[in-house]
Amino acid sequence: MGYRLLSILIGCVLVVSCVSPVDKLIGPQTDIRGVGTPIVILEAGAGDGASAWEPLRSKLAEHSQVFSYDRSRNTDASMHRSGKQVAVALQARLQEQGLKPPYVLVGHSIGGPFVLSFAMLYPDQVAGIVLVDGRPPGFRKACEEMGGNMCEMPTWAKTLADGWVVAEVNGMEQTYADLGDLSAVPNVPVVVMSATKGPLFANDGFRDAWQKQQREQAEAFLQGKLMLIPDTGHYIHHEQTALVETVVLDLIANWRRANNQ
Q: Model's pTM, two decimal places?
A: 0.89
Q: Is the pLDDT of residue 157 over 90?
A: no
Calculate the alpha carbon distances from 40 to 20, 76, 127, 179, 244 in Å: 18, 29, 10, 22, 12
Task: Measure the CA–CA gap between 136 and 212, rounded to whole angstroms.
Answer: 9
28: pLDDT confidence band, cut at 50, 70 and 90?
A: low
Mean pLDDT of the chain: 87
| Per-residue pLDDT at 30 exceeds 80 | yes
Domain-wise residue ranges, the chain: 30-258
The Cα angle at residue 227 between residues 3 and 39, in degrees rounded to 5? 65
Spatial separation of the C-alpha atoms in residues 51 and 3, rounded to whole Å: 10
Give the separation between CA 157 and CA 153, rounded to whole angstroms.
7
CATH topology for the 30-258 domain: Rossmann fold (3.40.50)
Distance from C-alpha of 172 to C-alpha of 123, rounded to nearest angstrom:
21
- State which of 94-103, 190-199, 202-211 shows the largest mean pLDDT: 94-103
The lowest-confidence range among 57-71, 114-128, 155-169, 243-257 is 155-169
Confidence at 213, pLDDT banded by 50, 70, 90 = very high
Least confident of 61-65, 71-75, 202-206: 71-75
CA-nearest of 228, 8, 205 to 113 is 8
With bands split at pLDDT 50, 70 and 90, how would you rate the model's confidence at 180? Answer: very high
| Mean pLDDT value of segment 134-161 | 88
Phi and psi angles of residue 193, each rounded to the nearest 5 degrees, phi first = -95, 120
Average pLDDT over every residue of 242-260: 97
Per-residue model confidence as pLDDT tens digits over 40-64: 999 999 989 999 999 999 999 999 9
Q: What's the rounded mean pLDDT across residues 224-243?
A: 96
Span between the terminal Cα atoms of the chain, in Å? 35
**Percentage above 90 pLDDT, the chain:** 72
Q: Which of 11-15, 195-199, 233-237 has the highest mean pLDDT?
A: 233-237
